[in-house]
Amino acid sequence: MIVYFGGTAYDGVAGTDRQLADRLSAFTPVLYVDPPVSVLTPLRQPQLAGSLRGSTLRKVTPRLWRLCPRVLPGAYRSGMHHLTAALVRRSARQAARRLAATLGDTVSAVVVATHIETLGAVPGARTVYYATDDLVAGAGLIRLPRRRLAAVRDRMIARADEVAVVSPPLRDQFRQRGCEAVLIPNGCAPEAYTGIDDAPWPDDVPRFDRPAVGFAGHINARIDLGLLEAVAGAGHPLLLVGPHDAAYEPERFRALTDRPNVCWTGRKSFAELPAYLGTIRVGLTPYRLDDFNRASFPIKTLDYLAAGRGAVSTDLPATRWLRAFEDGEDLIRSASTVREFVHAVDLELAAEPTPELAGRRRAFAGRHDWTHRARAFARLLNIDPSAEQHTDRQEEPAP
């Protein structure tokens, strides 16, 4: 059994941690540990009370369990973060022992993809520290002290049996610190987009009078709003799918979504995403070119290709890495300036959307799917990926 400490809640954004944990559960049972929640959260956020009521350990699929640790208020304040880590380790250790006894299994590995020091949660288990972002560069975004995040990173690098990273810049950064990390980039789920062209048109999206472009994801400080404004300013229909951080450029964002050629749908689930991508011809990855984003590996670029759509991204190292693969250079356009970005969108919109082109995009994405990534990770954990079992995901029972 694997204990996987995720950087995001399992029922949150279906990103790296959830996608990888889901697929690892095809090889071995997985206990997914959410970021901890204060015991006072249900009182402060009544809308979450239902999801936080009842047992903190729940079965998600026949081979995957989710643990929601409870901790004291002020979990990440100076000094308190040590107690928080200890409480999370204890909670995970107790849940893992209980599950292992029920399954007649043992915990073979612990994966840590968060800033909380939990490598030692299960003594004797193989440990892997998985850096899915440059949290030190993103300290301001997650509102934690940069010095503390750097110290935790260095301690986990030193203690882990193996270290994996999500992007080439992180691999280079760790190498400079004397650590040879394994590169396991993000992937995509091509199977989610089967039949996308036959999906019903979403009720909250207008019928565009010309080919549209779109963005799917969180609209926050990581996104270059100027690029979206420029694309809309060029007259292209623009679809925005995802939540907006109310603190990020509220007036500019309101002005953008008030334009007649811009449609903003708000948050949608991963299951709903294919229908929305079916309404566009080109997908955008308009990330700011800062240190945090340069070390990231946006999933959305591969999702667009898996949906058979064109992809235009800012010139991130992850984009260059993908473009270096066979067929990648002419399937993904990248740009460093606003003018180049809009020009790349123009060129991609002008490309005839033939079945052959869509097939090439999907085939490229298929070489980077989550199952490939999970098999590489399983080998890192000394787990045989040939023992794959297919299980259908089931929703958690209502509390």
Same structural domain for residues 378 and 235?
Answer: no
Same structural domain for residues 257 and 379?
Answer: no
> 3-class SS at 189?
coil
Structure tokens at 331: 């399937």
Q: Which of 46, 36, 32, 37 is nearest to 1 (CA)?
A: 32
Q: Which of 208, 280, 203 is nearest to 240 (CA)?
A: 280
Classify residue 131: in a domain, yes or no: yes
Same structural domain for residues 81 and 13?
Answer: yes
The pLDDT tens digits of the residues spanning 342-385 come to: 999 999 999 989 999 999 999 999 999 999 999 999 999 999 88
Same structural domain for residues 165 and 16?
Answer: yes
Same structural domain for residues 242 and 378?
Answer: no
- Confirm if 305 and 365 have CB atoms less than 8 A apart: yes
- Taking each helix axis as running N to C, give the angle between helix 16-24 and helix 370-380, from 0 to 180 degrees, rounded to the nearest 10: 70
- The pTM is what? 0.90
Classify residue 394: in a domain, yes or no: no
How many degrees, rounded to 5, is the angle at CA 219 between CA 213 and CA 220? 145
Predicted local distance difference test score (pLDDT) of residue 56: 84
Classify residue 393: in a domain, yes or no: no
Same structural domain for residues 257 and 198?
Answer: yes
Classify residue 195: in a domain, yes or no: yes
Classify residue 180: in a domain, yes or no: yes
Same structural domain for residues 359 and 219?
Answer: yes
For residues 57 and 64, what is the distance between their CA atoms, to the nearest angstrom? Answer: 11
Classify residue 399: in a domain, yes or no: no
φ, ψ for residue 176 (rounded to 5)?
Answer: -65, -20
H-helix segments, the chain:
16-24, 41-44, 49-52, 80-103, 139-142, 146-159, 168-176, 225-233, 250-257, 273-277, 291-294, 300-306, 317-323, 328-331, 338-350, 355-366, 370-380
Classify residue 144: in a domain, yes or no: yes
Same structural domain for residues 201 and 106?
Answer: no
CATH number at 94 reads 3.40.50.11010
For residues 38 and 32, what is the distance between their CA atoms, to the nearest angstrom? Answer: 18
Classify residue 67: in a domain, yes or no: yes
Burial (CB < 10 A; 0-12, 13-18, 19+), residue 265, is middle
Question: Residue 278's domain spans which residues?
Answer: 190-366
Give me the residue label for tokens 């929703």. Answer: 395
Low-confidence ranges of the chain (pLDDT < 50): 47-54, 392-399
Structure tokens at 371: 């199952």
Same structural domain for residues 12 and 104?
Answer: yes
Predicted local distance difference test score (pLDDT) of residue 49: 46
Instruction: Tally DSSP H helices, then E strands, for the chain.
Output: 17, 16
Same structural domain for residues 179 and 202?
Answer: no
DSSP-assigned states of every residue in 307-363 = TT-EEEEE--HHHHHHHTSTTHHHHEEEESSHHHHHHHHHHHHHS---HHHHHHHHH
For residues 64 and 255, what is the distance between their CA atoms, to the nearest angstrom? Answer: 44
Same structural domain for residues 358 and 373?
Answer: no
- Confirm if 380 and 266 have CB atoms less than 8 A apart: no
For residues 131 and 115, what is the distance between their CA atoms, to the nearest angstrom? Answer: 9
What are the C-alpha distances in Å from 226 to residues 221, 222, 308, 334, 394? 12, 12, 26, 16, 40
Q: Which of 161, 109, 160, 168 is nearest to 134 (CA)?
A: 168
Q: Which of 79, 197, 190, 78 is nearest to 143 (CA)?
A: 78
Same structural domain for residues 174 and 267?
Answer: no
169-174 long-range contacts, Cβ below 8 Å, gap at least 24?
169/134, 169/294, 169/295, 169/317, 170/131, 170/134, 170/295, 173/134, 173/295, 174/131
For the chain, what is the domain count? Answer: 2
Length of the chain: 399
Predicted local distance difference test score (pLDDT) of residue 39: 80
Give me the residue label for tokens 């229908």. Answer: 275
DSSP 192: G
CATH number at 233 reads 3.40.50.2000
**Which residue type, as a one-letter code, is found at position 116?**
I
Predicted local distance difference test score (pLDDT) of residue 154: 96
Predicted local distance difference test score (pLDDT) of residue 141: 87
